[in-house]
Amino acid sequence: MEAGGKVIGVIPEKLKNVEIAHQQISELHVVKTMHERKALMADYADGFIALPGGTGTLEEWFEVFTWAQLGYHNKPCALLNINNYYSPILSFFDHMIDQGFVKSDYKKLIVIDDKASELVKKIKDYKGEYINKW
C-alpha cells in the first residue's frame, strides 16, 4: 500500500474478532463462510502465493492448485520456500508421482523459490497451461 498498491482482505464473520481483521486496507470484505471467502479471494486473485503457514494455508493452497490442475483457472500457484519450509511437500509430490497418483507434469505447475523477489519474477513470467489428466 505504501507503494500505491491496493490490498483487499476477505475474512469470515466468525474469524473477524478472533483473528486480526486489518482495518486500514483498501477494501475489507466480511463474508459468512470460509467457502465464500475462498471463492471471493479466487475471483480477485491474479495468482496465489503460500507463505509458510499451518494447515489452513496448505488447505487453501492445495485447493487453488487442484483447480489449476482441473483447468478451472490458469493462475500461478506459488510456494515461498523460506528455510526449505515447503521442501517436504515437494518430496511428497515426488512420492505421489512415483506411486502413480499424480502426473509428473503437474509438479511443473508449482512456482517455487526461497526468495520473495525471485518468486515474484517467476510469477510474472508464468505461462500456465492445462495438462490433460488422461
Domain total of the chain:
2
pLDDT value, residue 21:
66
Same domain (yes/no): 130, 97 = yes
More confident call, 78 vs 23: 78
Same domain (yes/no): 82, 122 = yes
Question: Half-sphere exposure of 88 toward its Cβ, with a 13 Å CA cutoff?
Answer: 4
Same domain (yes/no): 56, 117 = yes
pLDDT value, residue 9:
87
Same domain (yes/no): 2, 29 = yes
pTM for the structure as a whole = 0.86
Same domain (yes/no): 35, 88 = no
In the chain, DSSP finds a helix count (H) and a strand count (E) of 6, 5
Q: CA-to-CA distance for 11 and 33, rounded, in angstroms?
A: 9
Structural domain harbouring 12: 1-44
Mean of pLDDT values over 40-64:
94
CATH number (domain holding residue 111): 3.40.50.450
Same domain (yes/no): 12, 32 = yes
At residue 20 the predicted structure's pLDDT band, cuts being 50, 70 and 90, is low
Cα 8 to Cα 43, 69, 78, 83, 123: the distances in Å are: 12, 26, 19, 28, 19
Angle 112-130-6 from CA coordinates, rounded to 5°: 55
Same domain (yes/no): 27, 66 = no
pLDDT value, residue 59:
95
Q: CA-to-CA distance for 26 and 121, rounded, in angstroms?
A: 25
pLDDT digits over 76-133, tens only? 999 999 999 999 999 999 999 999 999 999 999 999 999 999 999 999 999 887 777 6
C-alpha cell at 130: 492445462
pLDDT digits over 53-76, tens only? 999 999 999 999 999 999 899 999
Same domain (yes/no): 127, 75 = yes
Same domain (yes/no): 26, 14 = yes
Task: Return phi, psi of residue 78, to 5°.
Answer: -120, 150
Same domain (yes/no): 78, 104 = yes
Same domain (yes/no): 116, 59 = yes
